[in-house]
Amino acid sequence: MTLDLLSLAWTFLWLSFLAVGGGLAVIPEMQRQVVGRFGWVTAQQFVDGYTLSQLTPGPNMLIAVFVGYRAHGVLGAAVAGVAMFLPTSLLAAFVSRRWSLLRERPWAAAAERALAPVGIGLMAAGVYTLARSAIHDWATGGLAAAATALLWAFSLPPIVVVLAGGLIGWLANL
């Protein structure tokens, strides 16, 4: 168990540093690690855990805490949460204090512009990974398309669309 807790900590530690474009950017690799490599959760549990983490207040990377809990209970949740959030929080605090001094330099502006498409691409990969695990027939595909259309066409809060989609899926036994 101790070795697996160390694997859990190490996995979420290095994954935290990959979240360049936000939490969604790391989802494909996280799923590959926690489902495919270590088997801490199933693909469906991963999607369900990500959905739950979207409904809770706070960062969407609370999926790490969910995975840790499924793997090793409360201790696993604490280990995964600390490994996912503490190192990058400290790094962000350190960099943000110095960024105002560096922001005006040409290389800093170029770095900011270069990271935008990287972040967008990583987030798109995260959406693709989640969709691949969650959409498994025409009904779930239609529900996902309807949710996307609603979010695109109207300025609805995403939580409303998620809850409505969950209710429809539950009522339709999806």
Give the total number of structural domains in the chain.
1
The answer to whether residue 120 is domain-embedded is: yes
Q: What's the predicted TM-score (pTM) here?
A: 0.70
Give mean pLDDT, residues 126-137.
82
Residue 87 in this model has a pLDDT that exceeds 80: yes
Backbone dihedral angles phi then psi of residue 162, each to the nearest 5 degrees = -65, -45
Per residue in 2-14, pLDDT tens?
A: 899 999 999 999 9
The answer to whether residue 69 is domain-embedded is: yes
The answer to whether residue 102 is domain-embedded is: yes
The answer to whether residue 153 is domain-embedded is: no
17, exposed or middle or buried, with CB in 10 Å at 0-12, 13-18, 19+? Answer: exposed
The answer to whether residue 14 is domain-embedded is: yes
- pLDDT bin (cut points 50, 70, 90) of residue 31 is very high
- Dihedral-angle region of residue 83 (phi above 0 means left; psi in -120 to 50 means alpha; beta otherwise): alpha
Quote the pLDDT of residue 126. Answer: 79
Domain residues for the domain of 78 are: 2-134
The answer to whether residue 76 is domain-embedded is: yes
The answer to whether residue 8 is domain-embedded is: yes
Backbone dihedral angles phi then psi of residue 138, each to the nearest 5 degrees = -65, -35
- For residue 100, which amino acid is it? S
The answer to whether residue 169 is domain-embedded is: no
What does the alpha-carbon distance between residue 107 and residue 13 come to, in Å, rounded to a whole number? Answer: 28
Give mean pLDDT, residues 46-74.
88
Cα torsion for 75, 81, 84, 87, to the nearest 10°?
-90
